[in-house]
Structure formats: C-alpha cells, structure tokens
C-alpha cells in the first residue's frame, strides 16, 4: 500500500531526514541556556486545546521538526505546536544544539545527560502549558533520536502523565531506573507510547526499538511500534501518518471525513 498524507490523498514527498551530527564531542565553550525558545505553530482556529512539543535530535535545532506540525494540522486543527532549541550548543555541529553531550565513550553519559536536562525541559513544558491554559492531559511529546530519549525520560516522570509519547529513531535510556517512571493520568494510567524506527538506521540500531519496548512493557507502559522497512536514521511518510493518527487517538480527536 502506498503511504498517504493525512487528508487521504497520496502525494509523493521526499523522506524527512532530520539533521544529526555524528557522536564526536568537542569541548563546549558556550554555557547552556536555562530558558528554551524555538519556532511554533498556532492552532488553525481559536485557542489551543492540545499542545504538541517536538524534541529534535543531536546537532539539529527546533527548526528541524516544526514542519511536521504543518502536516498534522489537518487532523489536529486545534493543537499548538512548538519545537524548542535544545539548551546546549552542539560540540560537533557549531550551529546545532544538543540536549546533552555525546562521546560514545562513556557508558553512563546518556543517563547522566537525560537526568541533567530534565529540569530545564520540565520548566519549559510547565510554562507552555500554563500559557495555553492546558494541563498534561492535553500534552504530547514527539522526539527524534536524542529527542526521543528526552521525550521518554521526561514524559514518564511528569507529575501527571502526558496524553502521548511518540519517538522516532531513538531509545529508552536507563531501563534499570524504570521504577522512577511514575507519571499517571487522573485514571491512574501510564501514558501511551509509540516507537517508530527504520530497519537500516545507521546511528541508533534498529534493535533499540524492541529493547525499549520490552522494558516499557515490563513497567506496564502501554507501547506500540511501527517498523519502517529499509529506512535509515530518518522519518518517512508512513511514519508521519502513523504518528499523527496515534496523537489524534490519544487526544480523543475525531478524524476529518474525506
């Protein structure tokens, strides 16, 4: 079956290939930001009823993912989209950003990184929700690569569970610490998770999808996955469709008729 756009009409479009830098770290000379900013899209009409936050990958910035919101506005017309720049300049890509440093030499750096970046992202999410007059039940986190690591780590540890967590080409960091993943909604339910990964990912191996899903399931986190056959470290149209429909269902949004 050919992938379709979210309004049901097939349009051949190139794969979305978010920018990323190879994991070679150089010393950072600029201090990290304590307040996040980035591009945003307002709802198509009226005040926002949902908030979708994109978390980009290592070496990119907020501009990398915000255009996904334009594709999803068809089924999420009342959602606001925001894509903050990560707090630190990237050691490998001087014009890019990072949520935390990566050298691939320290086995503990990812856990240390997501933990240290968590308070800054939590503060940003709290401020965005307050400004929109929403709570976590109307929040979705969407990550790519390192951004997926942040989405899963932070989303599973919020005071109240987000509506959904969606991760492209990433992985769960610190599965041995899943006892900390206590975010639950008003019904006592954990946030639903969708993981999407390409079988030819040359940066984060495809097996990371199943490893992450297994650990999430053991922690009673409802998890779905979608496999993009032949795809590298990227996002294809089928993944965008699955992701958009997953968010719409999590928000309880009625899909438009054709």
Sorted by where each starts, the structural domains of the chain and their CATH numbers stand as 42-251 (3.40.50.1820)
Q: Which pLDDT tens digit goes with each residue over 104-155?
A: 778 799 999 999 999 999 999 999 999 999 999 999 999 999 999 999 999 9
Look at residue 16 in the predicted model and tell me its pLDDT: 59
Q: Contacts by 103-109 with C-beta closer than 8 Å and gap 24+?
A: 103/23, 103/24, 103/25, 104/23, 104/24
Share of the chain above pLDDT 70, in %: 86
- In 3-state terms the chain splits into helix, strand, coil percentages (rounded to 5) of 30, 15, 55
Alpha carbons 114 and 56: distance in angstroms, whole number: 14
pLDDT digits (tens, 9 = 90+) for 27-76: 444 555 668 999 999 999 899 999 999 999 999 999 999 999 999 999 99
CB-hemisphere CA count at 13 Å for 44?
A: 10
Dump pLDDT digits (tens) for 2-29: 333 333 332 333 355 665 444 444 444 4
| pLDDT tens, residue by residue, 193-230 | 999 999 999 999 999 999 999 999 999 999 999 999 99
List Cβ neighbours of 189 (8 Å cut-off, separation of 6 or more). 161, 222
DSSP 90-141: -SS-TTSEESS---SS-TTHHHHHHHHHHHHHHHHHHHHHHHHT--GGGEEE
The reported pLDDT for the residue numbered 84 is: 98
Retrieve residue 51's tokens: 């908030």
Percent of the chain past pLDDT 90, that is, above it, reads: 79
């Amino acid at each position: 079956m050919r992938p379709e756009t979210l309004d049901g009409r097939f349009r051949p479009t190139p794969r979305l290939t978010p920018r990323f830098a190879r994991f070679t770290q150089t010393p950072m000379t600029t201090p990290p930001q304590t307040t996040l900013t980035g591009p945003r899209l307002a709802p198509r009409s009226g005040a926002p009823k949902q908030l979708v936050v994109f978390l980009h990958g290592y070496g990119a910035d907020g501009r990398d993912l915000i255009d996904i919101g334009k594709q999803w506005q068809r089924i999420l017309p009342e959602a606001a989209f925001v894509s903050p720049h990560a707090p630190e300049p990237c050691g490998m890509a001087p014009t890019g950003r990072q949520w935390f440093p990566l050298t691939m030499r320290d086995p503990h750096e990812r856990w240390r990184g997501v933990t240290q970046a968590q308070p800054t992202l939590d503060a940003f999410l709290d401020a965005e929700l307050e400004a929109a007059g929403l709570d976590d039940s109307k929040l979705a986190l969407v990550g790519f690569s390192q951004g997926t690591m942040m989405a899963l780590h932070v989303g599973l540890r919020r005071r109240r569970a987000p509506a959904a967590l969606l991760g492209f080409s990433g992985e769960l960091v610190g599965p041995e610490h899943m006892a900390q993943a206590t975010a639950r909604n008003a019904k006592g339910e954990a946030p639903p998770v969708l993981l999407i990964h390409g079988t030819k990912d040359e940066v984060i191996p495809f097996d990371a999808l199943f490893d992450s899903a297994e650990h999430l399931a053991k922690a009673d986190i409802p998890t779905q996955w979608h496999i993009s056959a032949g795809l590298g470290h990227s996002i294809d149209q089928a993944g965008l469709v699955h992701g958009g429909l997953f968010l719409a269902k999590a928000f309880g949004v009625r899909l438009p008729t054709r």
